[in-house]
Amino acid sequence: MSGTIDYGNLMHDAMRSLIRNVLLDVADNGLPGAHHFFITFDTSHPDAELADWLSDRYPDEMTVVMQHWYDNLEVTNDGFSITLNFGDAPEPLYVPYDAIRTFVDPSVEFGLRFEQREEESDNIKSAGKDKPLSQTEESELEVEEEPTKEAEIVSLDSFRKT
């Protein structure tokens, strides 16, 4: 057993499980009401599957929208496949949960943002691939680990009535 609890990875696993559960419900029942999703994912992830012309156009990341038209949504433990319409051209995609960078449902101002692991982040920065966040990411939840602090001792004497 390691000397620390890896809360960052545990939180990412929980958030990916939440996305999986939401997509399972949508696969079974369709999108309710005004719900729709903006999903940004790493197109260079080794398990991501998309048409060559899409990976050429979006070599680093891509944001897809699940709203009015989508087809063949299949959800697995590792990712999901879906057919989306790109300019009247239906294209199948497979997105592993590990490739997802953001998941946003603007209809209810909900969003998740996955911080990249340190080695991935260093590789992206060194390759000059950092991109500014889109306007839909304003309401996203960022999960960051707090730096550990030294314990602070507070004397109760200063609060006592004399």
Give this prediction's pTM: 0.69
- Tokens describing residue 125: 């920065």
Q: How far apart are CA 98 and CA 150, in angstroms?
A: 34
**Where are the strands (E) in 8-153, listed by range?**
37-42, 61-66, 70-75, 79-85, 90-96, 100-105, 110-113, 141-142
- Mean pLDDT calculated for residue range 60-66: 92
- Chain segment 7-23, per-residue pLDDT in tens: 888 988 899 999 999 99
Q: Residue 151's pLDDT is what?
A: 47
What is the pLDDT confidence band of residue 69, given thresholds at 50, 70 and 90? confident
Cβ distance 84 to 25 under 8 Å?
A: no
What is the pLDDT confidence band of residue 127, given thresholds at 50, 70 and 90? very low
- Tokens describing residue 118: 């340190």
pLDDT at residue 136 tops 70: no
- Tokens describing residue 65: 């929208």
Percent of the chain with pLDDT over 70: 70
- Chain segment 73-121, per-residue pLDDT in tens: 999 999 999 999 888 889 999 999 999 999 999 989 899 898 776 544 4
User: Radius of gyration (Cα) for the chain, nearest Å?
Assistant: 20
Q: Residue 120's pLDDT is what?
A: 45
Residue position matching structure tokens 């899409």:
54
- Chain segment 151-160, per-residue pLDDT in tens: 445 444 555 5
